Amino acid sequence: MKHTACLTIAAAICATPTPAFAGPQAAETITTPPAASAWEFRITPYAWLTALDGTNGPSADPAEVDAGFSDIVDFIEMAAALQVEARHGRWGFLADAFYTELGGSGTAPGPEEAEVDINLDQFIGELEILYRVSESPAHFVDVYAGMRYNKLSLDFEIEGSGPRDPEREVSADRGWTDPIVGIRGQWNINEKWYLAGKGDIGGFGVNSDLTWNIQGTVGYNFNEMFSMELGYRAFDTDYEEDGFIYDITQSGLLLSANFRF
């Protein structure tokens, strides 16, 4: 059965755990660290304008999900995302938290219009240990390892207008943790402009069969303490357990503000 736009997505997402919305992570600003004896901190609120594409729902009859950010935005009741990093010498720690609430009712677009009522809460948390393997005035490269936690709570009801789109109710409350390993880096174009990138892979069958994340941004340093980044992020999770499948790719523009001290 194929449902449309964000309502279908939300339903599907909850039926099986999602990643994240994104998640939930923000653009990484990496600057040349101070003396090895000092601590460096970074606080980054961010926004990810994500679209969803993939398959989600009961394993025997999953739904095809295909919705842009414009389909989802009207159902957002609350969204918050924050990343915090602490670094000492070559070692660092990074925590990332993303939370969103979707709610509302209405008519889903499509050839067979359906009345939909949905409430979805999603949390994605990440914790990583970083190690700087290379740095110079022009660049730096970190490797990292950690875990990503996904938590979903969903109440979804859809009532179709035709015989091929019957009434359907879904309730789910799921959470799982995936190990991840990755690499990130920054390349300074000049004193103001820089390019940053990050990529990781995980799951390995522990919970998700596979999960991966990749992002690239362009950043601008306003001063030594503040910068902003704009770029693109794609995040995929392939999860199946207890009769549910969640194979969804989230992608879209990424905007972040970095405060360093």
Please report, in tens digits, the pLDDT of each residue of the chain (261 residues total).
444 444 344 444 443 333 333 333 444 444 454 445 599 999 999 999 988 898 877 777 777 778 888 888 888 888 999 999 999 999 999 999 989 888 877 665 555 566 777 787 888 899 999 999 999 999 999 999 999 998 877 776 767 655 555 566 766 778 899 999 999 999 999 999 999 999 999 999 999 999 999 999 999 999 999 999 999 999 998 999 888 888 889 899 999 999 999
* DSSP-derived pairing of the beta strands 63-67 and 39-58: antiparallel
CA-based torsion, 148, 144, 93, 86: positive or negative: negative
Query: Token pair of 21, please?
Result: 């919305």
User: Contact 134/140 with Cβ under 8 angstroms?
Assistant: yes
CB atoms within 10 A of CB 33: 17
The predicted-structure confidence for 25-49, as pLDDT tens digits, reads as follows 444 444 454 445 599 999 999 999 9
240-251 pLDDT, tens digit each: 988 888 888 989
Query: What are the C-alpha distances in Å from 255 to residues 56, 170, 243, 260?
Result: 27, 33, 36, 17
β-partners of residue 26 are: none
Residue labelled with tokens 């609120």: 45
DSSP category for residue 135: E
Closest CA to 218 of 259, 256, 251: 256
The neighbour count for residue 205, using CB atoms within 10 Å, is 8
> Smallest Cα–Cα separation from 31: which of 124, 104, 132, 159?
132
Phi, psi angles (nearest 5°) of residue 222: -75, -35
What is the pTM for the complete model shown?
0.78
Tokens 């159902």 found at: 75
CA angle 15, 20, 25 (to 5 degrees): 165
pLDDT tens per residue, range 199-233: 999 999 999 999 999 999 999 999 999 999 999 99
- Buried/exposed code over 227-236 (b: 16+ C-beta within 10 A; e: otherwise): bbbebebbbb
Interatomic CA distance for residues 121 and 139, integer angstroms: 39
Domain architecture of the chain: domains with CATH? 5-256 (2.40.128.90)
